[in-house]
Copies of this chain bind each other. A is one copy, B any other.
Amino acid sequence: MFDNKEKTNLNEMGEFGLIQHLTQTIQLTNESSVKGIGDDAAVLDFKDKKTLISTDLLLENVHFDLRYVPLKHLGYKAIQVNLSDIYAMNGIASQVTISIGVSSKFPLEALEELYAGALIACEKYKVDLVGGDTSTSTQGLVISVTSIGYAEADEIAYRSGAKEGDLLCVSGDLGGAYVGLQILEREKQIYLENPEIQPDLEGKDYIIERQLKPEARKDVVELFRHLHVKPHAMIDVSDGLASEILHICNASNLGCKLYEDKIPIDPMTYETAREFGLDPTVCALSGGEDYELLFTVPQSDYDKVKNQLDISIIGYMTEPAAGQKMISKSGSEHDIVAQGWNAFTKKD
């Protein structure tokens, strides 16, 4: 991947040289990608299917901290986070564009790492990188990703489609990404106080990977097709379970009952949360960045989903007047309140 020289100055390459250098190996693999990088716009062909578009902005020191996020992981995660929005519509992601603003002091090799991570994600998820923009930034690193996908009209799962009585389900497990972040933040503080001390991440691979290298749940969307399940409503868990449940309830004008003891939490997440004096349930409800899929299915699909190891039935949808409630392990009922991560209140 690297040239012989260790550090190449971006100023020497110029914008066109840089784009060409970073994208020269890209090959289009999807039938819907008619024309990728190299013209004023990409050209896509979704035939009679609907086009899905989602976009995310990732800013240094707000969404990521380069002191502990390796650039290759960052590129990978930037793509995953955005593909997750297409899967959350029950669609198939097929293309992305990636725009990067970066200080001209950044060496080319660092940018190559970032792109390498993005391209690994594209290859793994079979999406084509079809466009983007690179620019110098006078401040921090800026990443903007737009993902594009498709679905048949009747496959699309909106947030607003939930019905009273639907089962509320979630894929995978929750809270891990947030607890992984706590470990990384702790080790950063220790490092800042004493740079001699190596980070202690021993045995915490799973939850650190949940934070640094999340996987969008394309496999769940494929499972739905395999099981002939059409989720009534779906959203991805980016801001925490509580916030996402409320989005579905509000968009669908429904209440819900969520059972605390049904929320899937990995043992490592549970134990590590406890080590930090955190309530594991709160980590799942408010932590965010898990990129699992939260969805509702009709009760008639119960037999199809109940034996799927990677899907948990965590509650059900109710009439709106019943409110949005969590039944705690002790049996008491609480209002579900969104306290998810908020880009405008986070201080960093």
Contacts and interface: CB of A to CB of B under 8 A. Distances in A.
Nearest to A52: B41
A201 interface: no
Contact of A136 (B10, B42, B132, B344): B344
A43 B48 contact: no
B344 A10 contact: yes
A136 B41 contact: no
A62 interface: yes
A86 to B, nearest CB: 6
B51 A46 contact: yes
A59 B137 CA distance: 7
Interface string A48-69: 1011111111011111000000
Given A41-B85, A47-B48, A62-B101, A53 B146 contact: yes
A63 B139 CA distance: 13
Interface residues of A, number: 76
Nearest to A34: B50
Contacts of A52: 41-44
Nearest to A148: B53
B40 A85 contact: yes
Given A39-B89, A134-B343, A344-B104, A44 B54 contact: no
A254 to B, nearest CB: 16
Interface in A80-113: 84-86, 88-89, 91, 95, 97, 99-101, 104
A236 interface: yes
10 contacts: A14-B342, A40-B159, A41-B52, A41-B88, A43-B52, A53-B130, A53-B148, A55-B99, A59-B136, A101-B142
